[in-house]
Structure 1
Amino acid sequence: MTSLRTLKTISLGLMIALGLLAQSKTSHAQQLETITVAGGCFWCVEADFEKVSGVTEAVSGFAGGSVANPTYKQVVSGRTGHYEAVQITYDPSKVSAETLYDLFFRSVDPTDAGGQFCDRGDSYRTAIFASPDQKAAAEAAKAEAQADLGQTIVTPILDAAEFYPADGYHQDYYKQSGLILTRFGPKSKANAYKAYREACGRDARVKQLWGDAAPFAGS
């Protein structure tokens, strides 16, 4: 009888431990939050923010337009009103929304209203899509960035909008090994991304604007 009671006690203890572990995982998952930003080419924004400690995922996609589930071709045509955007998921116990917005402003040219770097047109403009409880952090980061830069920042802080992930071809483009044909011959997507980023002048312009405060230039 004693051994049966002991077995039951052990089994109950294991069940409680497993329950607490599951609850802890659920609680942690519920603590993750997201912000959505548009900073020109979404490959670059995704690559930048996946380097940030506390960020668990960055997804390339589209926001701010009038068409549901737009394709990449539809968006870059300029007829849907969407921005190329990135949804960033992060752990607020490790990094704050305001810190992420600070990094965002210093990773783009927020003085350019016509696109970003070599990419021109509405879909490549900068923006922050903020929910009501995110707007204060976004506005504070914008004000600080403008004071630091000493130039007018044209990046708007817009109301939160539906985010549509881009197709798989565009996700994690900067680290994919699949071959594509470029004007320089066949290259892996990762190498094609590096060549594009350099040729587009993204890091050079960001470094020119922000100097040592540019968090990702040359990384």
Structure 2
Amino acid sequence: MEWSWYPVQLSFFVAAVATIITFILAVLAAFWMTERKVRSRVVVETIFFLPLVLPPTVIGFMLIIIFGSNSPVGKAIEWLTGSSVMFTVTAAVIAAAVVVFPLMYQSIKTGFLSVDQNVLGAAKVDGASDWKMLALITIPLSFRSILTGVILGFTRAFGEFGATLMFAGNIPEHTQTVPTAIYLAIESGQTNLAWYYVLISISFSFILLLGINQTRKRG
């Protein structure tokens, strides 16, 4: 195994795509949970938060069951695309998105709940639709919480390992991300190479977390 920028580039790509997908889903889920009377709210939110407490191997196993070649979803994907989603970059994005969702959802929901209800009530009186209030009032007023969720989500997606290893594999120059590259380097006794990737990961995470703290100070 030789030094390559590919795992770093792929980790950035996977984290970026997973963050965008998760942001959209988390905003819709948080809006639904805060603005609607959802039956079995506790059960639904418990399902949302499961990826936070489940072992990564369990998440990876469930993704294999859902998207594997023997599942209805997997067969449908193979019929549409001509190939399996497993051991692809798409699989890495899916794994990262699943793991990141609870962090993003909780942060965005906290921001939505902090919005003054009087402001929303006044907007409703003026005839604003739910979607217009979400886009023009709720999201702008929740900007700091949303930004925190996005940064935390991106950082977590960048460092995702367990579910990614099981579902996307560790194929050099194909599905190998920074965490899996570190794992392979250690397994092959290349400690110096592992250190390069570790330092990149630590430096990147430190910068992003520093950005969160600076944002909170300004708030």
TM range (shorter): under 0.3
Higher relative contact order (CA 8 A, sep 6+): 2
Which of the pair is proportionally richer in helix?
Answer: 2
Which structure has more strand as a fraction of its residues? Answer: 1
Question: Taking structure 1 as the reference length, what is the TM-score of the superposition?
Answer: 0.27
> Normalised by the size of structure 2, how large is the TM-score?
0.27
Task: Determine which structure has more spread, i.e. the larger CA radius of gyration.
Answer: 1
